[in-house]
Structure 1
Amino acid sequence: MATVLVTGSSDGIGRQTALDLVTGGHRVVLHARSDQRAEQARAAVPGAADVVVGDLASLASTRALGEAVAALGPLDAVVHNAGVGGQDERRLTEDGHELIFQVNVLAPYLLTALAPPPARLVYLTSGLQAQGEPHLDDLDFASRPWNGMQAYSDSKLWDVVLALAVARHWPGTLSNAVDPGWIKTRMGGSGATDELPAGAETSVWLATSDDAEARVTGRYLHRRRLREPHPAATDVDLQEQFLATVARLTGVGLPTA
Protein backbone atom coordinates (compact mmCIF):
# COMPACT_ATOMS: atom_id res chain seq x y z
CA MET A 1 0.00 0.00 0.00
CA ALA A 2 1.33 3.42 -0.99
CA THR A 3 0.52 6.79 0.57
CA VAL A 4 -0.19 9.24 -2.23
CA LEU A 5 -1.05 12.93 -2.28
CA VAL A 6 -3.09 14.09 -5.28
CA THR A 7 -3.35 17.85 -5.74
CA GLY A 8 -6.54 19.27 -7.20
CA SER A 9 -8.49 16.17 -6.26
CA SER A 10 -11.95 17.64 -5.73
CA ASP A 11 -12.82 17.44 -9.42
CA GLY A 12 -11.89 16.06 -12.82
CA ILE A 13 -8.78 13.98 -13.41
CA GLY A 14 -7.55 14.55 -9.87
CA ARG A 15 -10.70 13.14 -8.34
CA GLN A 16 -10.61 10.15 -10.70
CA THR A 17 -6.96 9.57 -9.82
CA ALA A 18 -7.80 9.62 -6.11
CA LEU A 19 -10.74 7.27 -6.60
CA ASP A 20 -8.64 4.80 -8.58
CA LEU A 21 -5.91 4.87 -5.94
CA VAL A 22 -8.41 4.21 -3.14
CA THR A 23 -9.96 1.39 -5.15
CA GLY A 24 -6.47 -0.05 -5.58
CA GLY A 25 -6.05 -0.22 -1.80
CA HIS A 26 -3.78 2.79 -1.37
CA ARG A 27 -3.83 5.49 1.30
CA VAL A 28 -4.80 8.76 -0.39
CA VAL A 29 -4.44 12.34 0.78
CA LEU A 30 -6.68 14.73 -1.10
CA HIS A 31 -6.06 18.42 -1.77
CA ALA A 32 -8.52 21.23 -2.37
CA ARG A 33 -8.14 25.00 -2.66
CA SER A 34 -10.76 25.86 -0.02
CA ASP A 35 -12.61 24.31 2.90
CA GLN A 36 -15.76 24.09 0.78
CA ARG A 37 -13.94 22.24 -1.97
CA ALA A 38 -12.34 20.01 0.64
CA GLU A 39 -15.77 18.89 1.80
CA GLN A 40 -16.70 18.18 -1.79
CA ALA A 41 -13.54 16.12 -2.19
CA ARG A 42 -14.26 14.10 0.96
CA ALA A 43 -17.77 13.37 -0.28
CA ALA A 44 -16.54 12.38 -3.73
CA VAL A 45 -13.71 10.15 -2.45
CA PRO A 46 -15.08 8.71 0.82
CA GLY A 47 -12.23 6.26 1.22
CA ALA A 48 -9.55 8.95 1.36
CA ALA A 49 -7.39 9.11 4.47
CA ASP A 50 -7.06 12.88 4.76
CA VAL A 51 -7.41 16.19 2.95
CA VAL A 52 -5.15 19.24 2.94
CA VAL A 53 -6.27 22.72 1.92
CA GLY A 54 -4.34 25.41 0.09
CA ASP A 55 -4.97 27.92 -2.67
CA LEU A 56 -2.26 27.49 -5.31
CA ALA A 57 -2.95 31.00 -6.62
CA SER A 58 -1.34 32.34 -3.43
CA LEU A 59 2.31 31.81 -2.55
CA ALA A 60 1.55 32.24 1.15
CA SER A 61 -1.21 29.64 1.00
CA THR A 62 1.00 27.30 -1.03
CA ARG A 63 3.77 27.64 1.56
CA ALA A 64 1.28 26.77 4.31
CA LEU A 65 0.13 23.82 2.24
CA GLY A 66 3.72 22.67 1.87
CA GLU A 67 4.10 22.77 5.66
CA ALA A 68 0.89 20.78 6.07
CA VAL A 69 2.11 18.18 3.58
CA ALA A 70 5.47 17.94 5.36
CA ALA A 71 3.64 17.36 8.65
CA LEU A 72 1.89 14.32 7.18
CA GLY A 73 5.15 12.42 7.26
CA PRO A 74 6.87 10.61 4.41
CA LEU A 75 4.80 10.15 1.26
CA ASP A 76 5.36 7.42 -1.27
CA ALA A 77 4.16 9.56 -4.16
CA VAL A 78 2.79 12.98 -5.06
CA VAL A 79 0.67 13.51 -8.17
CA HIS A 80 0.80 17.19 -9.11
CA ASN A 81 -2.51 17.29 -10.92
CA ALA A 82 -3.94 20.71 -9.99
CA GLY A 83 -4.00 23.32 -12.72
CA VAL A 84 -5.99 25.91 -14.62
CA GLY A 85 -6.61 26.16 -18.35
CA GLY A 86 -6.32 28.99 -20.84
CA GLN A 87 -7.90 32.28 -19.81
CA ASP A 88 -9.55 34.87 -22.05
CA GLU A 89 -7.86 37.68 -20.14
CA ARG A 90 -4.50 37.99 -18.42
CA ARG A 91 -5.20 37.79 -14.70
CA LEU A 92 -2.74 38.53 -11.92
CA THR A 93 -2.64 36.82 -8.54
CA GLU A 94 -2.19 38.59 -5.22
CA ASP A 95 1.54 37.98 -5.70
CA GLY A 96 1.60 39.83 -9.01
CA HIS A 97 2.12 36.76 -11.18
CA GLU A 98 0.05 35.68 -14.15
CA LEU A 99 -2.52 33.18 -12.85
CA ILE A 100 -1.79 30.25 -15.17
CA PHE A 101 1.95 30.44 -14.55
CA GLN A 102 1.55 30.67 -10.79
CA VAL A 103 -0.94 27.81 -10.40
CA ASN A 104 0.49 25.47 -13.02
CA VAL A 105 4.21 26.08 -12.51
CA LEU A 106 5.21 28.06 -9.43
CA ALA A 107 2.87 26.14 -7.11
CA PRO A 108 4.05 22.61 -7.97
CA TYR A 109 7.65 23.81 -7.83
CA LEU A 110 7.13 25.35 -4.39
CA LEU A 111 5.35 22.27 -3.05
CA THR A 112 8.14 20.08 -4.40
CA ALA A 113 10.78 22.24 -2.76
CA LEU A 114 9.04 22.45 0.62
CA ALA A 115 7.89 18.87 1.16
CA PRO A 116 10.24 15.96 1.88
CA PRO A 117 11.17 14.16 -1.35
CA PRO A 118 8.76 11.27 -1.93
CA ALA A 119 9.76 8.08 -3.69
CA ARG A 120 7.82 9.13 -6.80
CA LEU A 121 6.64 12.38 -8.35
CA VAL A 122 4.17 12.73 -11.20
CA TYR A 123 3.58 16.10 -12.86
CA LEU A 124 0.58 16.40 -15.16
CA THR A 125 1.38 18.22 -18.36
CA SER A 126 -0.41 18.26 -21.73
CA GLY A 127 0.26 17.42 -25.34
CA LEU A 128 0.19 21.19 -25.80
CA GLN A 129 3.62 21.29 -24.16
CA ALA A 130 4.89 20.74 -27.70
CA GLN A 131 3.63 24.23 -28.56
CA GLY A 132 5.15 25.85 -25.48
CA GLU A 133 7.70 28.63 -25.83
CA PRO A 134 10.48 28.79 -23.22
CA HIS A 135 10.48 32.54 -22.52
CA LEU A 136 12.27 32.66 -19.19
CA ASP A 137 12.47 36.43 -19.52
CA ASP A 138 8.66 36.79 -19.72
CA LEU A 139 7.07 34.00 -17.70
CA ASP A 140 4.18 36.26 -16.68
CA PHE A 141 3.33 37.45 -20.21
CA ALA A 142 4.10 41.00 -19.12
CA SER A 143 5.68 41.93 -22.47
CA ARG A 144 4.14 39.54 -24.98
CA PRO A 145 0.62 40.06 -26.38
CA TRP A 146 -1.79 38.02 -24.28
CA ASN A 147 -2.73 34.60 -25.62
CA GLY A 148 -4.40 32.34 -23.07
CA MET A 149 -3.72 29.10 -24.90
CA GLN A 150 -0.09 30.03 -25.43
CA ALA A 151 0.21 30.80 -21.74
CA TYR A 152 -1.28 27.39 -20.95
CA SER A 153 1.02 25.63 -23.43
CA ASP A 154 4.03 27.43 -21.95
CA SER A 155 3.03 26.35 -18.44
CA LYS A 156 2.76 22.73 -19.52
CA LEU A 157 6.23 22.91 -21.09
CA TRP A 158 7.60 24.25 -17.80
CA ASP A 159 5.94 21.35 -15.98
CA VAL A 160 7.96 18.94 -18.11
CA VAL A 161 11.10 20.98 -17.49
CA LEU A 162 10.40 20.79 -13.75
CA ALA A 163 9.84 17.03 -13.77
CA LEU A 164 13.04 16.36 -15.68
CA ALA A 165 15.08 18.80 -13.61
CA VAL A 166 13.91 17.21 -10.35
CA ALA A 167 14.77 13.78 -11.75
CA ARG A 168 18.37 14.93 -12.26
CA HIS A 169 18.71 16.59 -8.86
CA TRP A 170 16.95 13.86 -6.87
CA PRO A 171 18.21 10.51 -8.21
CA GLY A 172 16.43 8.71 -5.36
CA THR A 173 13.03 9.95 -6.58
CA LEU A 174 11.29 8.77 -9.73
CA SER A 175 10.10 12.02 -11.31
CA ASN A 176 8.12 12.05 -14.55
CA ALA A 177 5.70 14.17 -16.58
CA VAL A 178 2.43 12.74 -17.90
CA ASP A 179 0.19 13.90 -20.74
CA PRO A 180 -3.23 12.55 -19.67
CA GLY A 181 -4.81 13.16 -23.08
CA TRP A 182 -7.79 15.29 -24.03
CA ILE A 183 -10.16 14.32 -21.24
CA LYS A 184 -13.84 15.10 -20.78
CA THR A 185 -13.63 17.50 -17.86
CA ARG A 186 -14.63 21.10 -17.29
CA MET A 187 -11.18 22.13 -18.47
CA GLY A 188 -11.16 19.71 -21.40
CA GLY A 189 -14.52 20.94 -22.65
CA SER A 190 -17.34 19.27 -24.53
CA GLY A 191 -15.19 18.41 -27.54
CA ALA A 192 -12.76 16.23 -25.58
CA THR A 193 -12.29 12.71 -26.90
CA ASP A 194 -11.31 10.62 -23.86
CA GLU A 195 -13.06 9.57 -20.66
CA LEU A 196 -11.84 10.29 -17.12
CA PRO A 197 -10.39 6.83 -16.36
CA ALA A 198 -8.01 7.14 -19.29
CA GLY A 199 -6.77 10.46 -17.96
CA ALA A 200 -5.94 9.02 -14.55
CA GLU A 201 -4.52 5.63 -15.49
CA THR A 202 -0.91 6.54 -16.26
CA SER A 203 -0.52 8.70 -13.14
CA VAL A 204 -1.85 5.92 -10.90
CA TRP A 205 0.46 3.42 -12.59
CA LEU A 206 3.55 5.61 -12.22
CA ALA A 207 2.71 6.43 -8.61
CA THR A 208 2.22 2.85 -7.43
CA SER A 209 3.25 0.12 -9.86
CA ASP A 210 6.30 -2.10 -9.46
CA ASP A 211 6.36 -2.77 -13.21
CA ALA A 212 9.81 -2.10 -14.62
CA GLU A 213 8.22 0.19 -17.21
CA ALA A 214 6.73 2.32 -14.41
CA ARG A 215 10.02 2.70 -12.57
CA VAL A 216 11.51 5.19 -15.00
CA THR A 217 12.58 8.72 -14.20
CA GLY A 218 13.13 11.94 -16.08
CA ARG A 219 10.69 10.93 -18.79
CA TYR A 220 7.55 12.21 -20.50
CA LEU A 221 4.74 9.69 -20.96
CA HIS A 222 1.34 9.33 -22.57
CA ARG A 223 -0.85 6.26 -22.05
CA ARG A 224 2.02 4.46 -20.29
CA ARG A 225 4.26 4.95 -23.31
CA LEU A 226 7.41 7.02 -23.44
CA ARG A 227 7.17 10.06 -25.69
CA GLU A 228 9.68 12.68 -26.75
CA PRO A 229 8.99 16.02 -25.07
CA HIS A 230 9.60 19.48 -26.44
CA PRO A 231 13.36 19.68 -27.17
CA ALA A 232 13.73 22.55 -24.70
CA ALA A 233 12.62 20.28 -21.83
CA THR A 234 15.76 18.15 -22.06
CA ASP A 235 18.13 21.14 -22.24
CA VAL A 236 20.06 20.93 -18.96
CA ASP A 237 21.17 24.56 -19.13
CA LEU A 238 17.54 25.65 -19.52
CA GLN A 239 16.51 23.40 -16.64
CA GLU A 240 19.08 25.05 -14.40
CA GLN A 241 18.06 28.54 -15.48
CA PHE A 242 14.44 27.64 -14.80
CA LEU A 243 15.23 26.31 -11.30
CA ALA A 244 17.20 29.45 -10.50
CA THR A 245 14.37 31.66 -11.73
CA VAL A 246 11.56 29.95 -9.80
CA ALA A 247 13.75 29.81 -6.70
CA ARG A 248 14.16 33.57 -6.93
CA LEU A 249 10.44 34.13 -7.53
CA THR A 250 9.36 31.95 -4.59
CA GLY A 251 12.28 32.57 -2.26
CA VAL A 252 12.77 28.80 -1.92
CA GLY A 253 15.49 26.81 -3.65
CA LEU A 254 15.22 23.16 -4.57
CA PRO A 255 16.93 21.24 -1.75
CA THR A 256 19.70 18.81 -2.51
CA ALA A 257 18.69 15.18 -2.50
Structure 2
Amino acid sequence: MAIVFITGSTDGLGRAAAQSLLDQGHRVVLHARSAERAAAVADFAAHAAGIVIGDLRSAADTKGIADQVNAIGRMDAIIHNAGVYTERSRGATAEGHAGTLAINTLAPYMLTAQIARPKRLVYLSSGLHRGGEGSLRDLDWTRRSWDAAKAYAESKLHAVALAYALARRWPHVLSNAVDPGWVRTRMGGAGAPVDLDTGQRTQSWLAVSEEPAALVSGRYWHHLRQEQPAGEAADPAFQDALIAGLSELTGVALPAV
Protein backbone atom coordinates (compact mmCIF):
# COMPACT_ATOMS: atom_id res chain seq x y z
CA MET A 1 0.00 0.00 0.00
CA ALA A 2 1.15 3.53 -0.83
CA ILE A 3 1.46 6.65 1.31
CA VAL A 4 0.13 9.73 -0.49
CA PHE A 5 0.27 13.42 0.44
CA ILE A 6 -2.60 15.57 -0.86
CA THR A 7 -2.64 19.35 -0.59
CA GLY A 8 -5.95 20.99 0.17
CA SER A 9 -7.41 17.71 1.41
CA THR A 10 -9.89 18.78 4.08
CA ASP A 11 -12.60 19.67 1.56
CA GLY A 12 -13.77 19.17 -2.00
CA LEU A 13 -11.75 17.17 -4.50
CA GLY A 14 -8.79 16.78 -2.17
CA ARG A 15 -10.91 15.24 0.55
CA ALA A 16 -12.72 13.03 -1.97
CA ALA A 17 -9.38 11.73 -3.27
CA ALA A 18 -8.15 11.15 0.27
CA GLN A 19 -11.29 9.20 1.16
CA SER A 20 -11.03 7.12 -2.00
CA LEU A 21 -7.42 6.21 -1.25
CA LEU A 22 -8.18 5.44 2.39
CA ASP A 23 -11.04 3.18 1.29
CA GLN A 24 -8.56 1.29 -0.88
CA GLY A 25 -6.29 0.72 2.11
CA HIS A 26 -3.65 3.31 1.31
CA ARG A 27 -2.15 5.73 3.82
CA VAL A 28 -2.84 9.41 3.31
CA VAL A 29 -1.20 12.54 4.69
CA LEU A 30 -3.69 15.39 4.75
CA HIS A 31 -3.09 19.12 4.49
CA ALA A 32 -5.12 21.87 6.19
CA ARG A 33 -4.70 25.60 5.73
CA SER A 34 -4.89 26.33 9.46
CA ALA A 35 -5.01 24.67 12.86
CA GLU A 36 -8.67 25.68 13.09
CA ARG A 37 -9.42 23.92 9.82
CA ALA A 38 -7.54 20.83 10.98
CA ALA A 39 -9.54 20.78 14.22
CA ALA A 40 -12.79 21.02 12.26
CA VAL A 41 -11.98 17.79 10.38
CA ALA A 42 -10.47 15.92 13.34
CA ASP A 43 -12.77 12.91 12.89
CA PHE A 44 -11.68 12.52 9.26
CA ALA A 45 -8.02 13.18 10.07
CA ALA A 46 -8.07 10.42 12.68
CA HIS A 47 -8.04 7.90 9.82
CA ALA A 48 -5.04 9.50 8.09
CA ALA A 49 -1.32 8.87 8.45
CA GLY A 50 -0.92 12.49 9.50
CA ILE A 51 -2.05 16.04 8.85
CA VAL A 52 0.23 18.96 8.04
CA ILE A 53 -0.76 22.57 8.50
CA GLY A 54 0.13 25.70 6.59
CA ASP A 55 -1.23 28.42 4.31
CA LEU A 56 0.01 28.01 0.74
CA ARG A 57 -0.31 31.76 0.26
CA SER A 58 2.76 32.11 2.51
CA ALA A 59 6.23 31.07 1.39
CA ALA A 60 7.25 30.47 5.01
CA ASP A 61 4.21 28.27 5.62
CA THR A 62 4.83 26.39 2.38
CA LYS A 63 8.39 25.62 3.51
CA GLY A 64 6.91 24.50 6.84
CA ILE A 65 4.53 22.15 5.05
CA ALA A 66 7.45 20.58 3.19
CA ASP A 67 9.34 20.15 6.46
CA GLN A 68 6.32 18.52 8.12
CA VAL A 69 5.87 16.07 5.24
CA ASN A 70 9.56 15.20 5.22
CA ALA A 71 9.39 14.53 8.97
CA ILE A 72 6.65 11.95 8.37
CA GLY A 73 8.74 10.16 5.76
CA ARG A 74 9.16 9.80 2.02
CA MET A 75 5.88 9.83 0.14
CA ASP A 76 5.07 7.38 -2.64
CA ALA A 77 2.95 10.00 -4.37
CA ILE A 78 1.95 13.64 -4.02
CA ILE A 79 -1.26 15.10 -5.41
CA HIS A 80 -0.99 18.88 -5.78
CA ASN A 81 -4.69 19.54 -5.43
CA ALA A 82 -5.03 22.85 -3.55
CA GLY A 83 -6.01 25.91 -5.51
CA VAL A 84 -8.10 29.05 -5.75
CA TYR A 85 -10.35 30.13 -8.60
CA THR A 86 -11.13 33.72 -9.55
CA GLU A 87 -9.73 36.12 -6.98
CA ARG A 88 -11.38 39.54 -7.21
CA SER A 89 -8.09 41.39 -7.02
CA ARG A 90 -4.42 40.66 -7.44
CA GLY A 91 -3.93 40.88 -3.72
CA ALA A 92 -0.48 40.59 -2.26
CA THR A 93 1.11 37.89 -0.15
CA ALA A 94 3.66 38.65 2.54
CA GLU A 95 6.26 38.30 -0.19
CA GLY A 96 4.31 40.63 -2.51
CA HIS A 97 3.09 38.00 -4.98
CA ALA A 98 -0.34 37.79 -6.57
CA GLY A 99 -2.51 35.48 -4.48
CA THR A 100 -3.58 33.24 -7.37
CA LEU A 101 0.00 32.80 -8.51
CA ALA A 102 1.21 32.10 -4.97
CA ILE A 103 -1.31 29.34 -4.24
CA ASN A 104 -1.77 27.76 -7.67
CA THR A 105 1.77 28.02 -9.06
CA LEU A 106 4.45 29.04 -6.56
CA ALA A 107 3.31 26.67 -3.79
CA PRO A 108 3.28 23.46 -5.87
CA TYR A 109 6.62 24.47 -7.38
CA MET A 110 8.16 25.07 -3.95
CA LEU A 111 6.73 21.87 -2.48
CA THR A 112 8.03 19.91 -5.46
CA ALA A 113 11.50 21.33 -4.89
CA GLN A 114 11.50 20.96 -1.09
CA ILE A 115 9.74 17.66 -0.35
CA ALA A 116 11.79 14.47 -0.66
CA ARG A 117 11.25 13.18 -4.17
CA PRO A 118 8.30 10.76 -4.40
CA LYS A 119 7.71 8.06 -6.99
CA ARG A 120 4.74 9.90 -8.50
CA LEU A 121 3.59 13.49 -8.87
CA VAL A 122 0.11 14.61 -9.90
CA TYR A 123 -0.77 18.25 -10.59
CA LEU A 124 -4.38 19.41 -10.75
CA SER A 125 -5.05 21.64 -13.75
CA SER A 126 -8.16 22.65 -15.70
CA GLY A 127 -9.38 22.70 -19.27
CA LEU A 128 -9.28 26.47 -18.87
CA HIS A 129 -5.48 26.28 -18.99
CA ARG A 130 -5.79 26.61 -22.76
CA GLY A 131 -6.58 30.29 -22.23
CA GLY A 132 -3.41 30.91 -20.25
CA GLU A 133 -0.73 31.24 -22.88
CA GLY A 134 1.63 34.21 -22.82
CA SER A 135 2.16 34.38 -19.05
CA LEU A 136 5.95 34.63 -19.07
CA ARG A 137 5.80 38.30 -20.00
CA ASP A 138 4.38 39.15 -16.57
CA LEU A 139 4.15 36.09 -14.32
CA ASP A 140 3.30 38.01 -11.17
CA TRP A 141 0.85 40.53 -12.61
CA THR A 142 2.96 43.54 -11.69
CA ARG A 143 2.51 45.33 -15.04
CA ARG A 144 -0.90 44.20 -16.31
CA SER A 145 -4.35 45.18 -15.13
CA TRP A 146 -5.76 42.34 -13.04
CA ASP A 147 -7.83 39.77 -14.90
CA ALA A 148 -9.00 37.04 -12.51
CA ALA A 149 -10.02 34.54 -15.19
CA LYS A 150 -6.78 34.99 -17.12
CA ALA A 151 -4.70 34.65 -13.95
CA TYR A 152 -6.45 31.39 -13.12
CA ALA A 153 -5.97 30.06 -16.66
CA GLU A 154 -2.29 30.94 -16.54
CA SER A 155 -1.81 29.20 -13.21
CA LYS A 156 -3.40 26.03 -14.55
CA LEU A 157 -1.20 26.14 -17.64
CA HIS A 158 1.75 26.39 -15.25
CA ALA A 159 0.56 23.20 -13.52
CA VAL A 160 0.62 21.25 -16.77
CA ALA A 161 3.98 22.69 -17.79
CA LEU A 162 5.45 21.81 -14.40
CA ALA A 163 4.19 18.23 -14.67
CA TYR A 164 5.74 17.89 -18.13
CA ALA A 165 9.00 19.52 -17.02
CA LEU A 166 9.38 17.13 -14.11
CA ALA A 167 8.72 14.18 -16.39
CA ARG A 168 11.73 15.29 -18.43
CA ARG A 169 14.00 16.29 -15.55
CA TRP A 170 13.24 13.41 -13.21
CA PRO A 171 12.87 10.33 -15.43
CA HIS A 172 12.43 8.00 -12.46
CA VAL A 173 9.35 9.94 -11.27
CA LEU A 174 5.94 9.55 -12.92
CA SER A 175 4.68 13.12 -13.32
CA ASN A 176 1.28 13.92 -14.80
CA ALA A 177 -1.36 16.67 -14.92
CA VAL A 178 -5.12 16.17 -14.54
CA ASP A 179 -8.15 18.17 -15.57
CA PRO A 180 -10.88 16.93 -13.20
CA GLY A 181 -13.59 18.81 -15.05
CA TRP A 182 -16.14 21.23 -13.62
CA VAL A 183 -16.91 19.49 -10.35
CA ARG A 184 -19.66 20.05 -7.79
CA THR A 185 -17.50 21.48 -5.01
CA ARG A 186 -17.59 24.70 -3.04
CA MET A 187 -15.40 26.18 -5.78
CA GLY A 188 -17.32 24.66 -8.69
CA GLY A 189 -20.80 25.30 -7.35
CA ALA A 190 -23.90 23.14 -7.02
CA GLY A 191 -24.69 23.40 -10.74
CA ALA A 192 -21.43 21.83 -11.93
CA PRO A 193 -21.99 18.73 -14.11
CA VAL A 194 -19.29 16.45 -12.63
CA ASP A 195 -19.78 14.62 -9.33
CA LEU A 196 -17.02 14.39 -6.72
CA ASP A 197 -16.25 10.73 -7.30
CA THR A 198 -15.74 11.21 -11.02
CA GLY A 199 -13.71 14.35 -10.37
CA GLN A 200 -11.25 12.65 -8.02
CA ARG A 201 -10.91 9.35 -9.82
CA THR A 202 -8.12 10.12 -12.30
CA GLN A 203 -5.69 11.71 -9.85
CA SER A 204 -6.23 8.94 -7.29
CA TRP A 205 -5.67 6.29 -9.96
CA LEU A 206 -2.48 7.94 -11.21
CA ALA A 207 -1.16 8.19 -7.64
CA VAL A 208 -1.35 4.50 -6.80
CA SER A 209 -2.42 2.26 -9.67
CA GLU A 210 -0.10 -0.46 -10.96
CA GLU A 211 -2.08 -0.82 -14.18
CA PRO A 212 0.21 -0.31 -17.21
CA ALA A 213 -1.97 2.55 -18.43
CA ALA A 214 -1.21 4.51 -15.25
CA LEU A 215 2.54 3.93 -15.32
CA VAL A 216 3.29 6.76 -17.73
CA SER A 217 4.77 10.22 -17.35
CA GLY A 218 4.46 13.62 -18.96
CA ARG A 219 0.78 13.31 -19.89
CA TYR A 220 -2.33 15.42 -19.51
CA TRP A 221 -5.44 13.55 -18.38
CA HIS A 222 -9.18 14.12 -18.28
CA HIS A 223 -11.50 11.45 -16.83
CA LEU A 224 -8.98 8.61 -17.24
CA ARG A 225 -8.15 9.55 -20.82
CA GLN A 226 -5.09 11.32 -22.18
CA GLU A 227 -5.64 14.62 -24.00
CA GLN A 228 -3.39 17.12 -25.74
CA PRO A 229 -2.69 20.21 -23.61
CA ALA A 230 -2.06 23.77 -24.77
CA GLY A 231 1.01 24.18 -26.92
CA GLU A 232 3.07 26.14 -24.40
CA ALA A 233 2.50 23.54 -21.67
CA ALA A 234 4.11 20.81 -23.79
CA ASP A 235 6.96 23.03 -25.06
CA PRO A 236 10.27 22.27 -23.29
CA ALA A 237 11.51 25.82 -23.91
CA PHE A 238 8.45 27.26 -22.16
CA GLN A 239 8.80 24.75 -19.33
CA ASP A 240 12.41 25.68 -18.74
CA ALA A 241 11.68 29.41 -18.90
CA LEU A 242 8.80 28.98 -16.46
CA ILE A 243 10.96 27.10 -13.98
CA ALA A 244 13.65 29.76 -14.25
CA GLY A 245 11.03 32.42 -13.53
CA LEU A 246 9.62 30.54 -10.56
CA SER A 247 13.08 29.96 -9.16
CA GLU A 248 13.77 33.69 -9.37
CA LEU A 249 10.44 34.65 -7.77
CA THR A 250 10.74 32.18 -4.89
CA GLY A 251 14.48 31.90 -4.36
CA VAL A 252 14.01 28.11 -4.45
CA ALA A 253 15.92 26.07 -7.02
CA LEU A 254 14.39 22.97 -8.55
CA PRO A 255 16.91 20.09 -8.59
CA ALA A 256 17.89 19.36 -12.17
CA VAL A 257 18.10 15.57 -11.88
Equivalent-residue separation in structure 2 for 1:183 and 1:50 (angstroms): 26
1:169 corresponds to 2:205: no
RMSD: 1.1
Structure 2 counterpart of 1:217: 217
Q: Distance in 1 between matches of 2:193 and 2:44?
A: 24
Which residue of the partner structure matches residue 75 of structure 2?
75
Which residue in the other structure is 2:127 paired with? 127
Answer yes or no: is 1:155 the counterpart of 2:129. Answer: no
Determine the structure 2 residue equivalent to 1:190.
Answer: 190
Distance between the aligned counterparts of 2:42 and 2:2, measured in 1?
A: 19
Contact 1:166–1:175, Cα closer than 8 Å, also in 2 = yes
- Comparing 245-254 with 174-183, greater Cα deviation is found at 245-254
1:45–1:23 CA distance, 2 compared to 1 (3 A): farther
Are the equivalent residues in 2 in contact too, given 1:98–1:140 (CA < 8 A)? yes
Which residue of the partner structure matches residue 108 of structure 1? Answer: 108
The letter for the 2-side match of 1:81 is N
Q: Distance in 2 between matches of 1:142 and 1:88?
A: 16
1:204 aligns with 2:191: no
Task: Please say which of residues 54-63 and 32-41 is displaced more in the overlay.
Answer: 32-41
Q: Which residue type is aligned with residue 154 of structure 1?
A: E
**Letter aligned with residue 194 of structure 2:** D
**1:41 and 2:41 are equivalent in the alignment:** yes
Aligned residue type for 2:156: K
Q: CA deviation at 1:100?
A: 0.4
Whole-angstrom distance in 2 between the partners of 1:109 and 1:134: 19
Q: Distance in 2 between matches of 1:172 and 1:160?
A: 18
Q: Who is 2:12 aligned against?
A: 12
The secondary structure found in structure 1 opposite 2:255 is: coil
Q: Is the 8 A contact 1:42 1:48 kept in 2?
A: no
The alpha-carbon deviation at position 41 of structure 1 amounts to 3.4
Provide the C-alpha distance between the structure 2 equivalents of 1:251 and 1:212, rounded to a whole number of angstroms: 38
Equivalence for 2:22: 22
Tell me the matched-pair count: 257
Displacement after TM superposition at 1:42 (Å):
3.3
Distance 1:199 1:30 in 2: 18
Aligned to 1:90: 90
For each residue in 1:129-168, what CA deviation from the matched residue of structure 2 results, as whole angstroms up to 9, or x when unmatched? 1111232131122222211111101100001011110111
Post-superposition Cα deviations, 1:26-78, rounded to whole Å, max 9, x if no partner, equal 00000011011112333235421110011100001101111111222111000
% identity of equivalent residues = 49
Q: TM-score scaled to structure 1, two decimals?
A: 0.97
Give the secondary-structure state (helix, strand or coil) at the position aligned to 1:231. coil
TM-score with structure 2 setting the length = 0.97
Q: Secondary structure at the match of 2:31?
A: strand
| Structure 2 spans left out of the alignment, 5+ residues | none
- Residue number in structure 2 paired with 1:229: 229
